[in-house]
Amino acid sequence: MVTIEEIQTAYYMVAATGVLIAAVYYVMNMRATLETRRIGLMDSIIARSINEESMKNYFELLRYEWSDYEDFERKYGSENNVEAAAKRYTVWNTYDALGMMLRKGMVKAEEIFDVGSPIVFIWAKYKPIIEENRRRYNGQSYLKDFEYLYEEMMKVKLKMEPSYRVPETLDKYIREK
């Protein structure tokens, strides 16, 4: 004969199993939702940063030439060349936001690298200008996530090609010797 305690125990076991199944379902559903959102985020990044107009901006930024920070400001600073400054800040801030998403785990370094954006070249070209801007105006935290993004992209590149070095000439054709 079955006692009331045995029925109660069986009931609690069934209830606990139901709660466990619901928790597992919830976790699986949340993972699927997060993955879907992450894919949507990557799609948005690609659409914004790898298109004809963006690529034209990147190549234009790579062609800017200056001798020192003062020369840079005269030629491309917001006081003298609003269009150039707007292009530059659009790219820098996009990469800073992307670096923040990477740092927070919203996207993966390999995924960003696979998109093929010229992050490494832009950072390498503008690092001295950004560092001087930090010193003069915005403090050391300015564009730190852009710098983090650059470092993570270099890690991915060096993992694939340990001898890789960022070329000194970023926008000009270099003939074989």
Per-residue pLDDT reduced to its tens digit, 37-48:
767 776 777 667
Which of 6-10, 15-19, 85-89, 91-95 is predicted least confidently?
15-19
Coil vs helix vs strand at 75: helix
Q: Is the pLDDT of residue 174 over 70?
A: no
CA nearest neighbour of 129 among 167, 88, 162: 88
Q: Is the pLDDT of residue 36 over 90?
A: no
Q: Is the pLDDT of residue 53 over 90?
A: no
Average of per-residue pLDDT across 148-165: 94
Q: Is the pLDDT of residue 149 over 90?
A: yes
Q: Is the pLDDT of residue 10 over 80?
A: no
pLDDT band at 176 (very low <50, low <70, confident <90, very high): confident
- Residue 127's alpha-carbon distances to 24, 115, 151, in angstroms, are 47, 22, 12
Which of 12-21, 99-108, 120-129 is predicted least confidently?
12-21
Average of per-residue pLDDT across 146-155: 97
E strands, the chain, in order: none
pLDDT band at 117 (very low <50, low <70, confident <90, very high): confident
Which of 10-14, 81-85, 123-127, 143-147 is predicted least confidently?
10-14
User: Token digits for 26?
Assistant: 């919830």
